[in-house]
Structure 1
Amino acid sequence: MSTRKYVNWTKEDGIAILTIDNPPVNVLSEAVGMEIRECVHEVEHDEDVVVLIVTGAGRAFMAGADIKEFPSKMARGEAKKMALEHFHTYNKLDFLPKPTIAALNGITLGGGLELAMACDIRIAGESVKLGLPEVKLGLFPGAGGTQRLPRLVGEGRAKELMYLGDPIDAQEAWRIGLVNKVVPDADVMDASLAMAKQLARRTLTALSRIKKAVDKGLEMDLTNGVLYEAELLDEVFQTEDIHEGCNAFFEKREPKFKHR
């Protein structure tokens, strides 16, 4: 992998780990966003990678956007450009045709929570604080936060979190469905890797279609969602791995998928 200043990724046994390292709290500057997009693009086109874990170095997953860049965004249209650039970064993760896990190892606020919500699964350390505090600066979450949060936790809870701007702890985040699992702080990466290893044994021919069926189906009514699901199911029945999966079942062995 090429060496970047703030973001890099490694891979092993079908699992890629993308690490954001912008001390002290991994804020999302324009440069960080660009490097995240570059890394996700590489992960997408790496045939060895089945699942991606996203995490932060040090004591934060990501503390949000780089406020030092805000004064340059006061002219009309500049904030929109910044928001859409960050939204593009999150969409690279959201639309990645591979499962993604956010390993929340520390502070997860503002743009950091928006980044985490763009991942499929979120695993949080027990002392992690999560929130969208933008309103306290006279702002609001403008890179997908107002759209992704209510889809995860419902309209009422999402508005409350964004209106007040106060962070919640990991257990409350789990209770309302914002995170999938809470583990001891020291176990965040181990828990994320354990889930990633399970996923890496599956076939991308099915995993990618599950992701598409859920994500696109949420934008449809039930009838059209089911019809779309049926189309994807028909596609997966044309793959090599469906034959391998069935043969492995009949032969009482573990399947050896080739993602084809």
Structure 2
Amino acid sequence: MSVSTSVPDKGVAVVTVDHPPVNALPVRGWFDLADAVRDAGRDPATRCVVLAAEGRGFNAGVDIKEIRRDSGHGALIGANRGCAAAFSAVYDCEVPVVAAVHGFCLGGGIGLVGNADAIVASEDATFGLPELDRGALGAATHLSRLVPQHLMRALYYTARTVTAAELHAHGSVWQVVPRPELLETAVELACEIARKDGTLLRLAKAAINGIDPVDVHRSYRFEQGFTFEANLSGLADRARAGFGTQTQGKGRA
């Protein structure tokens, strides 16, 4: 598991996650990601953060195997808190965050990009919440920031995915590019943002968050309460028992 930060251009910090094989993060990984994003945003030299990933896809959510190995609820509680911390770090980052998404963006990945300020995606990127198949609930808060309400509900109940092109049509993805051009394009957008005054950017981020119609922190933690209920009741175990190791979602009809 690695979370690294690089500075490809003045004012731009790139936070990159690399956790093979599918970037399904363990508890520690979510907290490490939260720390990296917060640290990047707090740096006075940073004016925009790019959130990226290596490997087959952007993010496949939490490490289900880690939760299965735990005979109690410690791993589940840790995953809940870790995801909340990482999602909040993106949302509360003092400067704008651009998500660079390739391949699959599932579960916790939706929480990250849904809280980002802008999304650049590769042509092969797909987005979805397979939570019901995994015995979990959550991140509808963030999916609601990407698609209209009724589409969000249909996607949530069916666990289907949508493409980057479809999200671009809804206006939630800024640009769709060939995969080899993804990081360069995301950094170009970040550089354009970073050319603004740093203090004004921080004020703008705080102002825009302040007028959000939904409190994303409280809304997501409310959802997580139902995840814990599903686990306590045994529903989650039954759902996870039928969940395979594949990260691909179903496409829309």
Q: Settle same-fold status: TM greater than 0.5.
A: yes
Q: Residue 189 in 1 paired to residue 186 in 2?
A: no
Residue number among 194, 205, 208 corresponding to 1:211 in the alignment = 205
Do the aligned partners of residues 95 and 186 (structure 1) sit closer, same or farther apart at CA in structure 2, a change above 3 Å counting? same
Match of 1:131 among 115, 128, 132: 128
Contact kept? 2:110, 2:143, Cα under 8 Å: no
Deviation at 1:105, TM superposition (A): 2.2
| 1:146 aligned residue | 140
Question: Structure 2: any 5+ residue segments left out of the alignment?
Answer: 215-253
* 2:79 equivalent to 1:85: no
2:92 corresponds to: 95
Contact 1:73 1:82 in 2 (8 A): no
- Select the residue among 113, 117, 120 that pairs with 2:114: 117
SS at match of 2:153: helix
- Is the Cα–Cα contact under 8 Å of residues 67 and 75 in structure 2 kept in the other structure? no
Tell me which structure has the larger Cα radius of gyration: 1
Corresponding residue for residue 162 of structure 1: 156
> Please, which of 22, 37, 46 is the counterpart of residue 25 of structure 1?
22
Deviation (angstroms), 1:73: 6.1
Residue 107 of structure 1 and its aligned partner are, at CA, apart by 1.6
1:102–1:122 contact (8 Å) kept in structure 2: yes
> How big is the shift at 1:199?
1.0
Higher relative contact order (CA 8 A, sep 6+): 2
**Which deviates more from structure 2 when the two are superposed, residues 25-34 or residues 48-57?**
25-34
User: Root-mean-square deviation (CA), in Å?
Assistant: 2.0
Aligned residue-pair number? 213
Query: What is the deviation of 1:45?
Result: 2.5
Would the alpha carbon gap of residues 41 and 218 (structure 1) be closer, same or farther in structure 2, given more than 3 Å must change? closer
CA distance in structure 2 between the aligned counterparts of 1:180 and 1:73, rounded to whole angstroms: 40
| Farther-moved stretch of structure 1 (72-81 vs 201-210) | 72-81
* Counterpart code for 1:163: Y
State the match for 1:7 in structure 2: 3
Using the alignment, how far apart are the partners of 1:26 and 1:129 within structure 2? 15
Identity %: 28
